Amino acid sequence: MNAPAMKVPAQQMLDLLEELAVFSAPGPGVSRLLYTPEWLKAQRFLQERMAALGMKVRTDGVGNVYGRITGSQPAAKVILTGSHMDTVLNGGKYDGAYGIAAAVTALHYLRQHFGQPLRTVEAVAFCEEEGSRFPLAYWGSGNVTGLYDGSEADSCADSAGVTIASAMAACGLAGGPEDRGSAAVADSAGRDIPLREDIGAFVELHIEQGIVLEQAGLEIGIVEAIAGQRRYSVKVAGSTNHAGTTPMGLRRDALAGAAELLLAMEQAAAAAGDPLVATCGKLEAVPGTPNVIPGEVEFTLDIRHSEAVALEHFCSRLLAAFEGIAAKRGLTLQFTVNLATSPAPMNTGLNQQLEHIARQQGRSFRSMVSGAGHDAQLFAPVCPTSMIFVPSRAGISHSPEEYSSPDELAAGLNLLTAILYELAYKES
């Protein structure tokens, strides 16, 4: 297999990245939360750009945007590439957007230089991956791979109480059960957002978001597996009372209790060691005022490991330890599992192809595990799936400081374009 030399115009991708970064709520970095006005404008802008580049564009019932170049073999499965349009609050401009900008640039280049592919290729901007607005993640890829069935839209709300269904309706997408049918085409199982059972391969290009490549001085990471994840909401209930009149021994302080739970979690995670990681990223105390003992606290947990058994074991022991601490303090706990994904191995054959092309392109590379979650993990059980990483400066991500250099980004783009050529243009 000798791929033709690719001189993909990286500037086109870099310009698109800058253009997408403008769609942000005010504040540091990029904030483009699911179904907000800035998210909607970005998805619309992308649709226009894809159409201007000659792609066939469509949006599905949850707001995933696809730009397609139709292949000459209509029965062949689709080659899909892309990433997510949403960001975390005050995130960077590369996480997600890089994979989208590169996908659009690669498809345009391939058509200009090699004409119509044999197999249809699509660039996708998934509507959501981060889980930053609603207490679930991978809403875009999860709806088309079967993690969700769309019914979660009615039960799941953001911190202001807005359900996914009403946020979708405000964006002109399928909203509540009564209007979902008109906005989306049901599949044979009656789902409003049809499963993508037509995908032959999915390749996602992404920044590493860690420091492995930079420390090793390597240009490319080829992902062998993505860590599994559990996300929980934990409600701690105690009693609200007067901060001045309630002696320390008579309190059932939900916030002090939550502090003990979280320190216990930090200790347990440190004892478990790499690659186990455990994080509380959000905590709210009720009523949240200086002279009242908080009677209620709600916090999030995000726990990850690359091995399913170790992840399960840590989580079950942690929740049992939490119950013990709560009982000692007279508090009660309620756990909600918001996300449970298994570690996802990437496709070995695809990875071998990537390594071969990386060698041909003279790139230094290694294979690696991704601690960050990605849309690719949902496609891995559905079709051959792989991911390409490029270095992140100082390993920083989910921050306005996120940065990868134009040369690093261009190296990823060239590798992505070449693998897409192999998958879509070559007789198998």
Q: Under the rule (CB under 5 A), what is the footprint of Mn ion?
A: 95-96
Complex with ligand GLV: residue 221 or 373, whichever CB lies closer: 373
Minimum CB separation of residue 88 from ligand GLV in Å reads: 7
Min CB(153)–ligand GLV separation in Å: 21
* Closer Cβ to ligand GLV, 47 or 397, answer by number: 397
192 contact, one of ligand GLV, Mn ion, none, CB 5-8 Å limit per kind: none
Q: Which is nearer to ligand GLV, 79 or 372 (CB)?
A: 372
Among 38, 60, 128, 130, interactor with ligand GLV by CB under 6 A: 130
Which does residue 150 touch among ligand GLV, Mn ion, none (CB within 5 to 8 A, set by kind)? none
**Closest CB to ligand GLV among 29 and 257?**
29
* Nearer CB in complex with ligand GLV: 122/302: 302
Q: Which does 96 bind (CB under 5 to 8 A by kind): Mn ion, ligand GLV, none?
A: Mn ion
Nearer to ligand GLV, 373 or 384 (CB): 373
| In the complex, least distance from residue 372 CB atom to ligand GLV, rounded to whole angstroms | 4
User: In DSSP terms, which residues pair with 125 in a beta bridge?
Assistant: 65, 83
In angstroms, give the least distance from the CB of 375 to Mn ion: 8
Helix axes 10-21, 97-114, angle to 10 degrees: 140
373 binds ligand GLV (CB under 6 A): yes
142 interacts with ligand GLV by CB under 6 A: no
CA–CA separation, 362 and 416 (whole Å): 14
The residue ranges that bind ligand GLV (CB under 6 A) are 130, 372-373
